[in-house]
Every structure is written in C-alpha cells, then in structure tokens.
Amino acid sequence: MPLYAKFLKELINKKRSWNEKETVILTQECNAVIQKGLPPKLKDLGSFIISCTIGNMTLENALCELGASINMMPLSMMKKLEIEEVKPTRMSLQMADRSLKIPNGIVENLLVNIREFIFPSDFVILDMEEEGHNSIILGRPFLAITRAIINVEKGEMTLRVHDEKMIINAFKAMQYPLEKEKHMRVEMIEKLEEELLEANCQEEQEEETKEK
C-alpha cells in the first residue's frame, strides 16, 4: 500500500466519537467568524489564516485555531458543497458571551486540500444565520493530523505527511485593508490640518503686513 494511502487509512480509523454529550467552549477568534463570517483581528499567535480547497470551493480565509477542539463549517457552505450525509451529535457550543448553540450535526471524512496534500477531516456544522459565510475553522484535530509545526518568528507553518513537508506562510494573510484604510484617512486628515494651519498663518501674516 502506498505511504499516502496508508496515512489516510490510519487517520480514518482513528476517529473521535461524536455520540458523547459535551460542551465545547469557543475562543473569541472562533466567535468572530461565527458572528461576522469574517476573519477576526488575530491577537493570539495561536490563530492564523490559510488557504485551502474543499470540493469545488476554494477558501482564502480558513481560520486555524489552536484553542478550538473542533473543526467547524457553516451550514450554508455545507449546502453549497451539496453534502447530504450529516450525523447527529449531542454536542453544544458555548460562545464568548456564554450563550449556547446547538450544531446541525457532523460531517465526517471531508477532504481538505492544501496544495498537494489532502487531509480527511470531521466538521461540526453550525447554522450561522447570516448569508455569505465563506470561512471555516480548523482546530486542533486538523492541526494534529497535519502534524503542523508553527514557527511564530518566521510566520511559517510546516505540514508533514511521512517524510514529505510543505511550508506555508501562515501569517501572510493577516493583513487588514480596512485598518490600513483607516490609517491612511488619519494621515490625510493630519495633512489637511497642517495645510489649513499654514494657510491661516499666511493669511494672518498678510493682514499684519497690510496693517503696517
């Protein structure tokens, strides 16, 4: 059996039981994705964003979260992927405000493609209410099967399958145009203020000269 096929078989055989009743506490980063459908401002170096493909859908803002004990996908995305088989679960999710949400179920062995690597992963499905959610949460279960090594200093994440390795610039996506736009606006306002002050000073000098 080829090494990669053996690797996939081992992952599928070592599955978490979804029948037990449990409450999963979500981090603020996960909460931001669920409520807004957007990648959050990542303050914790245990959180970062990567690009991946599931089925025919490419996701540019998949949130990797070391603080999450599950992988999560919005119900709207599951429908777009035309996934029909969903297993029931007794799990409940505790949000950052301590409110509880009940998942729609579990999708098992969904293939997550990151460049040339493919990883089968289980996802908790949650109805996030708002439309346009195109982000997923990849928690510790996913990072464990990818045997991820995170180099915070270099901003890199290494994924490993047997002797093969893949290096991803995991922190490259942590740029926020909206924040940059705000800074640009502040700079423009400051520049306008300087120009107005200079203009006022010049007018005052001209008036003083006329009076003399």
CATH number of the domain within which 13 lies: 2.40.70.10
Q: Are strands 57-65 and 47-54 parallel, antiparallel or unpaired?
A: antiparallel
Q: Are residues 187 and 105 in the same domain?
A: no
Range of the domain at 24: 3-168
The answer, yes or no, to whether residue 22 has pLDDT greater than 60, is yes
- Give 176: exposed, middle or buried? Use CB within 10 Å, 0-12, 13-18, 19+: middle
Q: Are residues 118 and 212 in the same domain?
A: no
pLDDT higher at 212 or 168: 168
Q: Assign 21 a pLDDT band (cuts: 50, 70, 90).
A: low
% of the chain surpassing 70 pLDDT: 56
Q: Are residues 98 and 15 in the same domain?
A: yes
Q: Are residues 164 and 182 in the same domain?
A: no
**Mean pLDDT of all residues in the chain?**
73
The answer, yes or no, to whether residue 79 has pLDDT greater than 60, is yes
**Considering its fold, how many domains does the chain have in total?**
2
Q: Are residues 190 and 157 in the same domain?
A: no
Q: Are residues 134 and 208 in the same domain?
A: no
Cα–Cα distance between 29 and 42 in angstroms, integer? 7
